[in-house]
Structure 1
Amino acid sequence: MTCTPRAARIPGVRATLSTAAGLLLAAGSAHALDYTGYLRAGPGGTTDGGASRACYALNGGTSGMKYRLGNECDIYGEFQLAQGFKKDGIDYKVVLMTDYWNPHSDADDAKHLRLAQMYVEAKGFDFLPEATVWAGKERGRRGDVHIVDTYFTEMAGIGAGMKGIPVGPGKLGVAYYTNDKDTNQRPGHRGNVEYVDIPTNTDGTLAFFGTATKSQFAGGTNGWGLAAKHVQSKLFGTSLNNVLWVQYAQGSTGLNSNFGNQTDTSAAKKFRVVESVNFQQGAWGGMGMLLWANEKDNAGKATVSTSIGGRVSYGVTRNFKLLTEAGVSQYKPDGGQRARLTKVTFAPTLSTGPALMDRPEFRLYVTHAKWNKAAGNVTGVAGYDGETSGTSFGAQVEVWF
């Protein structure tokens, strides 16, 4: 019996891979072709009748409040090819990444397949040999909190710019992006400035991000934002690492240094503070997050969001560890009720190593969640209408390479 390759069964995948191969082969063969990626997938179920599986997240509030361990009902993968080469003394790199996302457990079609990144960068020009010039579609990610799967600074989009320009103690970057991907293909323009890698103290660095947005359509608005990020390694001489974000945005600018809602006026003001820590000390590892946000809409009505949670791992042996994750998130709009969700997960795990971030991981998990009536149906599954608790179980693989 002949097995049809997956790429042949998903429309557009063969074309995408052929395009990637052509681009990267054209780049030359001075350096090895780099292939990297990430994926997560697995089956799951619930103890509640009428629902095949369920995951738990609040229906409002700021982003970054869903704790992900044992709480991902989707399948997701990203696969990147990168080819570096040198020409006339300039170092070039061509990058192409596809990703696939499906909110269900079965990868049954190609409607969620997309081109996530396609850009070229170059370094070594005689007038600024340390700077990198780039153009194309690029993610612009500058740090995440893994346990909530959120990049709190993500200057993603189609753009062009220059980064790594040595200025004083840090490095400067500037970029310009356009956007026309909303429902009505309405154009927007965005400028980003970053000043990063500023030494502040032993094992500590500071970064600043500035954003300006302009929407060019009837009802479109302008906006701007500022953010600071401090990274501290070896806190107090220990294995503890700390990251702090302080972010402000208003109008059509998002808190993550990207576009926000392109019809938000200057009355829409957003402020967020995120504190994240992680450590690995012997067999014990952990990551935690504390978040607070105040976001006003066009009418000046504020929604306050808070979240606290963490994940702890214990390496029983080199290839077997125990994971526990707990999180409490809530939000309250002006004049409204407070919505709250609490989630706890336990996951015995097989892994290539005992540390918290060692991958691949093969997990079995049990997740229990409780929420109040004001939170509504936090699962999006009809069988949970009117419920205020749920228990899920399943298996999952997570790997990056």
Structure 2
Amino acid sequence: MKLLPLIGAISVALLSSNAIAEYSPVEFYGYMRGGVGLSSEGGANNKWEVNKVGRLGNEDDLYGEFGLKKELYAEDEVSFVVDSMLAYWEGQDENSLDKSVNVVQLNIQATGLFADKDITIWAGDRYYQRHDVHIVDNYYWDVSGIGAGIEHINVGPGKLSFALIQDTVAGDIDDGQETTAVILDIRYADIPLWNKADLELGVDYHYGHARNEQSLDADDSVMLTASLTQNLDAGFNKTILQLANSGYAEQMTTYGHGNGLIRDAANNEAEGYRIINWGVLSLADNVELGHSIRYAAATNVDSTDTDDSTFSVVVRPMYKWTDRMRTVVEIGGFSDTINNVDSAGSKFTVAQAWIPKPGFWARPEIRVFATYLNDTKNENAFGTGVDNEISVGMQAEAWW
């Protein structure tokens, strides 16, 4: 699929008719990463257990998101906005064959229609209020998809949001028909606590709706989320607790997002939870540190009388040499027990990077890196009798 014609078509739609810059210009925003690397064992550099050992110097693909947003109407505090986005992916090996382009956002958002002017109603395909840990490239709370909702309702000290989103699921197939499933997402955010701290609470109910004469064996499931943010003078710290049952319980130890659920009757008795702590802190004028710590556990997954668990730690310190040059180090490790199978591994990366200005989140960034990977439980992880490898490469990353 060609990328430029798609972008052109969306641009024409956004700029046509009454949308021509009458209220605001088209906003172009997005994200990209890409580069090249070679490894001592695998030819090209690997992308190995990114969610567990960290992403720096551990990515081998080209990925980009291209968003176009246009305000179509703005009068009397009322605003209608159309938001769209294409995502592009290309693998490093055989890159002429493994390309893909997808429409990942296409929605309308309207604000200011009610007495509470903060309220937004929306419908379409949307990245919906996603929560992630950037350095391990994992969205731990992400029910994005085709749906509709009402958000940012001022209730008491916080803001209330409701969304109903379709989910593409595996399992629960009867007579060749896949399950019709939706996620009811309810959130209460921006609850003030002590100084510079706030709390967000959420419940996601995954509901399977039987079609005519269809029987669903898998139970519906629930995921509860509490997210505490402590802002600091020189950074922030987040602590997240998630509790889940049935299909959502399995996602606790598999780094699941909250969508793409596997509905399976074998998970009906499953229960699980995960605790995540991550943040960024400035330790000195020239030193910043990012970190991610995660522990998750689940029981009775796939009707097995086993206890699954996963534990991972990633730290990313960086030293600023000048306002435009820094050295970044990332160290990560994990230990898993899933279905009575133990796995563990580690990563060490050192990178020299150039940015336009200082700051942990400063982008764009161009970096050269060297990475050491070690799988301590699989002696054939990177080739016959090879449990470690070294890779070197160069990568760019940006958001705008």
TM-score if structure 2 supplies the norm length? 0.88
Determine the C-alpha separation between the residues in 2 that align with 1:342 and 1:12: 37
**Greater CA deviation, 312-321 or 177-186?**
177-186
Alpha-carbon shift at residue 16 of structure 1 (Å): 5.1
Equivalent position SS for 1:19:
helix
**Structure 2 counterpart of 1:357, one-letter code:** W
Identity %: 24
Give the alignment's Cα RMSD to 1 decimal. 2.3
Could you tell me which of 65, 75, 83 is aligned with 2:62? 75
Name the amino acid aligned to 2:158. G
Matched with 1:221 is 219
Tell me how far 1:153 sits from its aligned partner. Answer: 1.3
1:371 to 356, 372, 375: 375
User: Are 1:325 and 2:330 matched, yes or no?
Assistant: yes
Q: Provide closer, same or farther for how the CA distance between residues 131 and 389 of structure 1 changes in structure 2, counting only shifts above 3 A.
A: same
**Worse-matched range after superposition: 363-372 or 191-200:** 363-372
Shift of 1:20: 4.2
5 Å-filtered alignment, 1:347-362, equals 347-362=351-366
Change (3 A) 1:135 1:45: same
Aligned partner of 2:398 in structure 1 is 399
Q: More strand per residue: 1 or 2?
A: 2
- When structure 1 is superposed on structure 2, of 72-81 and 10-19 the one drifting more is 10-19
1:212 aligns with 2:205: yes
Correspondence for 2:244 among 246, 249, 273: 249
**Match for residue 231 of structure 2 among 209, 230, 233:** 233
8 Å contact kept, 1:340–1:375: no
SS of 2:243 mapped into structure 1: strand
Which residue of structure 2 aligns with residue 258 of structure 1? 259
Aligned 8 A contact 1:242 1:276 in 2 = yes
Distance 2:178 2:11 in 1: 27
Shift of residue 93 of structure 1? 1.2
In structure 1, distance between residues paired with 2:179 and 2:92: 30
CA distance in 1, matches of 2:80, 2:356: 34
User: Paired residue for 1:387?
Assistant: 386
Equivalent residue pairs, number? 377
> In 2, distance between residues paired with 1:359 and 1:343?
23
Per-residue CA distance 1:355-382 (angstroms, 9 max, x = gap): 22211111110000112234862x6xxx
Q: Which runs of 5+ in 1 are unaligned?
A: 1-9, 59-63
In structure 2, relative to structure 1, the CA distance for the partners of 1:119 and 1:106 (3 Å cut) is farther
Aligned letter for 1:228?
Answer: A
Q: Name the SS for the 1:163 alignment partner.
A: strand
- 2:174: which partner in 1? none
**Cα offset, 1:185, TM superposition:** 4.8
State the Cα deviation string for residues 89-125 of structure 1 (Å, max 9, x = none). 3211110000111232564257521011111101111
Contact kept? 2:143, 2:183, Cα under 8 Å: no
1:188–1:262 contact (8 Å) kept in structure 2: no
Residues 88 and 357 of structure 1: is their aligned pair in 2 closer, same or farther, counting only changes over 3 Å?
closer
Q: Give the conservation status (yes or no) of the 8 Å contact 1:342–1:369.
A: yes
Map of 1:61 onto structure 2: none
Note if contact 1:188-1:213 (Cα within 8 Å) is conserved in structure 2: yes
Deviations 1:118-148 (A, max 9, x none): 1110111134322110111111133321110
The two structures have a TM-score, normalised by structure 1, of: 0.87
**Counterpart among 137, 149, 171 of residue 125 in structure 2:** 137
The aligned runs of 1:2-401 (5 Å cut-off) are 10-11=1-2, 13-15=4-6, 17-26=8-17, 27-29=19-21, 30-48=23-41, 51-57=43-49, 64-87=51-74, 89=76, 90-104=78-92, 107-108=95-96, 111-180=99-168, 182=170, 185-216=178-209, 218-234=216-232, 238-253=233-248, 254=251, 256-263=257-264, 265-280=267-282, 281-296=284-299, 297-299=301-303, 300-333=305-338, 335-336=340-341, 338-374=342-378, 377=381, 384-401=383-400
Q: Which runs of 5+ in 2 are unaligned?
A: 172-176, 211-215
Secondary structure at 1:398 match in 2: strand
CA contact (8 A) 2:330 2:348 kept: yes
User: Which residue identity is paired with 1:135?
Assistant: A
**d(CA) in 2 for partners of 1:215 and 1:16?**
35
SS at match of 2:263: coil
- d(CA) in 2 for partners of 1:349, 1:87: 42
Post-superposition shift, 1:84? 1.6
